[in-house]
Amino acid sequence: MAEGSRGGSTCGGGVGGRQNPVPSSGGCNFPEYELPEMNTRVFHVAAFGELWLGRLRGEGDLSLKEPPAPALPGGRGVADSGQEDEAVARDLGCSLEAAAELRAVCGLDKLKCLEEGEDPEVIPENTDLVTLGVRKRLLEHREETITIDRVCRQETFAYEMESHAIGKKPENPADMIEEGELILSVNILYPVIFHKHKEHKPYQTMLVLGSQKLTELRDSICCVSDLQIGGEFSNTPDQAPEHISKVRTIIEWSESHDRGYGKFQTAKMEDFTFNDLCIKLGFPYLYCHQGDCEHVVVITDIRLVHHNDCLDRTLYPLLIKKHWLWTRKCFVCKMYTARWVTNNDSFAPEDPCFFCDVCFRMLHYDSEGNKLGEFLAYPYVDPGTFS
Amino acid sequence: MGAPAGLQADCEALLSRFQEMDSVRFEDFTDLWRSMKFGTIFCGRMRNLEKNTFTKEALALAWRYFLPPYTFQIRVCALYLLYGLYNTQLCQPKQKIRVAVKDWDEILKFQQDLINAQHFDAAYIFRKLRLDRAFHFTAMPTLLSYRMKKKIQRAEVTEDFKDPNDHVMKLITSDVLEEMLNVHDHYQRMKHIISADRANPDKALSLIKDDFFDNIKSIVLEHQQWYKDRKNLSLKSKGKDGEEKSEGNSQQLERSERAESLAKIKSRAFSVFVQASKSRRHRQVKLDSSDSDSASSQRQTKATRKRKNKETLKPEGRKMSSRYRGDMQNVHKEDKSVSLSMPVITEEEEENESFSETEFTAPKRRRKHRTKSLV
């Protein structure tokens, strides 16, 4: 049950009216598997954060500033090395000489496997590594079959989504994320209609901050059903609204045990942040909007913010993964995305049939704008519109 | 996506070779790393997306070996492996190592153990990773996305990297042995003190075997040795130096050994029989050897001979023990090459027999003695 701490959490200790999160008394706030490798038991998000904050050093572990550059052999002054050795000797309880020796013995140069000038992308000839053997065979196979191995649009798209915001700093320092902030990774599954999606449901992944309100996530979910317009417009095609606005309704969060008897708790989304929630990781929750449009939502991960993450809070909730959907193209020109769908259409070879705006009007209406033939026409919003 | 093909094999190869080195020094690890050219595992023109996924998988795989129940040496090697993978990866910015909060305390304890044991290089490596902010501090080790997998891929723990459960050693630790020795000595001294003749305690007080402690110690040492040999044996059989043939041979040897030991067990089970009482002598079970294996029947005859040499009126317990004794001697000789069966502890009836005979003549007492000698 995704509940706010005010609503009487099942974690124990949640009293009505209290704003503060449940204190981490150990017990129920250690995330642990309920069903191994599948989902965890319920735990309080902010209390989990506290578990980490209590165990880490602010200066070193939690800082969002760039860390000092790694030591390059021979590239540092003596003074710096001396300071470092002192710190090492202090932390490990060894002598200064030992610390200096450690710096030499554990240097990164000791891990170099390639000579100077060797290309890091080329697989070395006589390798025992199984991984490389597999990879080599794949490359050789491609060469033999003259398969051109260029990156396709989908892969570029996916990589860009994953990495486009990495390391971004805000212009306004007030928008900087604070140390110790939690980042939740949320998978939102598309309402599945297609049969091909039975095995592998398409989803998008969003990163959301612990301190953000639930409404912020809701607002960022672009659902096609928000854009649907009811009504048949074959007689008055011009009245079909061009710009469609989203209709907001009261949202309910509920546990998706089974469709039918889930526990419901209506709560105002704008009153709760993600930090206030008690949730299970890996467990499907249900998000309903537009009355009957349901999305399954799974929170897959929570972690502390890292200095390499996107540090601009205005960019959150951040979309990092999206299922690539092929848009339906107009049946006539096969170029533009379909904006109209017709049924019982005397002009159309199939039912239903999709048309872009121009082809639709050209086929079904004369130059005066009079309706030709028999058909039913509905404005169509393609799910791939948001790709 | 599951772990990339071959990645686990490569990591386990590195780990087992490090295990054979019997060291925890980083220098030795880097020698091994360079000789295997492990850093090239990222080569091969992987594109960005694949590079990211592969690196994440590699770090997650190495991480598993860093946590219990793996042995200390394996865990140190896993730490070095993580350091190696993290620093030789080609991703920009670097992929991080995920740590779940439930594991962190264990890791800090490990770090403290390293410092206490003065394994400064390992401690330095961990300190460096932490300073470089190589970790992502998470709720759970992996992302949980409620994918209904057909086969739930449970991470299997490689047995060879674990300390196998040695229940005997857990029971009889060096502390226990020391205490036993103390008690034994104290007891012997007490007996001397209260006896009339200070030099020799009363015979009536001889209720336990004097050399009991030495026996237990030697048994435990034998067990330890057997254990070590077993471990070494299984390690050796994994060695890669042209052992197709020898493996085949040793497998054959194992098979025939197994067959023999099975036959042994069967024969033992069916040949020990109760000495019928006088009233039921007519129903005495006779030993009828049906074994076709000449070796085992040989052994049996040997044992029977030994039996015949003893006094006839013996409770069956003694017969059994002598049979075992006979068998054991032969087993030890034959199975020295590939011995995977546990050594059987024998009841030492033989040495004490003369002693017992003089002391306890009545059958009742004999029985009592018998039970006591099991101490």
Lowest mean pLDDT among A10-19, B33-42, B51-60, B133-142: A10-19
Q: What is the pLDDT of residue B363?
A: 45
Q: Other C-beta atoms within 10 Å of B210: how many? A: 12
List Cβ neighbours of B146 (8 Å cut-off, separation of 6 or more): A38, A39, A282, A283, A284, A298
- Indicate the pTM of the whole model: 0.63
Does A155 contact B at CB distance below 8 Å? yes
Task: Please tell me what DSSP assigns to residue B168.
Answer: H
Task: Please tell me what DSSP assigns to residue A363.
Answer: H
HSE value, Cβ hemisphere, 13 Å, CA-based, for A153 = 5
Q: What is the pLDDT of residue A181?
A: 94
Closest residue, chain A, to B47 (C-alpha): A151
Q: Decide which of B322 and B223 is more confident.
A: B223
Q: What is the pLDDT of residue A238?
A: 75
Q: What is the pLDDT of residue A71?
A: 53
Most confident of A362-371, A375-384, B148-157, B360-369: A362-371
Q: What is the pLDDT of residue B313?
A: 40
Does A210 contact B at CB distance below 8 Å? no
Q: Decide which of B45 and B70 is more confident.
A: B70
| Closest partner CB to A282 (pick from B26, B102, B145) | B145
Per cent of chain B over pLDDT 90 is 31
Q: Is A270:A214 a contact under the CB 8 Å cutoff? A: yes
In the predicted model, what is the mean pLDDT of residues B40-56? 89
**Would the CB atoms of A92 and B115 count as touching at under 8 Å?**
yes
pLDDT score of B172 more than 90: no
Q: Per-block average pLDDT, block size 10, for chain A (387 residues)? A: 38 33 50 86 91 86 79 60 86 88 89 80 82 87 79 83 88 91 90 62 88 86 66 74 41 35 53 88 80 80 94 92 80 89 90 90 89 88 65
State ipTM. 0.76
Q: What is the pLDDT of residue A198?
A: 60
Q: Decide which of B208 and B88 is more confident.
A: B88
List Cβ neighbours of A51 (8 Å cut-off, separation of 6 or more): A24, A29, A30, B101
**Would the CB atoms of B43 and A298 count as touching at under 8 Å?**
no
pLDDT band at B149 (very low <50, low <70, confident <90, very high): low
| Closest partner CB to B136 (pick from A133, A167, A303) | A303
Q: Decide which of A109 and B301 is more confident.
A: A109
pLDDT band at B293 (very low <50, low <70, confident <90, very high): very low
Structure-derived torsion over alpha carbons of residues A253, A182, B153, B96, reported in degrees to the nearest 10: 160
Distance CA A298, CA A302 (A): 12
Q: Which phi and psi (to 5°) does residue A80 adopt?
A: -60, -45
pLDDT band at B187 (very low <50, low <70, confident <90, very high): confident
Q: Is A210:A274 a contact under the CB 8 Å cutoff? A: yes
| Closest partner CB to B124 (pick from A37, A92, A128) | A92
pLDDT score of B337 more than 70: no
pLDDT band at B375 (very low <50, low <70, confident <90, very high): very low
**Would the CB atoms of A56 and B137 count as touching at under 8 Å?**
yes
pLDDT band at B218 (very low <50, low <70, confident <90, very high): confident
Q: What element of type H or E holds A255?
A: strand A252-255
| Closest partner CB to B40 (pick from A92, A114, A308) | A114
Q: Decide which of A163 and B197 is more confident.
A: A163
Q: Is A234:A377 a contact under the CB 8 Å cutoff? A: yes
Q: What is the pLDDT of residue A290?
A: 63
**Would the CB atoms of B87 and A111 count as touching at under 8 Å?**
yes
Lowest mean pLDDT among A184-193, B214-223, B308-317: B308-317
User: DSSP labels for A6-59?
Assistant: GGT-TTS---TT--SPPP--SGGGS--EEETTTEEPPEEHHHHHHHHHTTS-II
In the predicted model, what is the mean pLDDT of residues B312-341? 43
User: DSSP labels for B56-71?
Assistant: HHHHHHHHHTTSTTB-
The domains located in chain A, with CATH, are 166-234+242-254+263-322 (3.10.290), 325-386 (no CATH)
Distance CA B242, CA B99 (A): 40
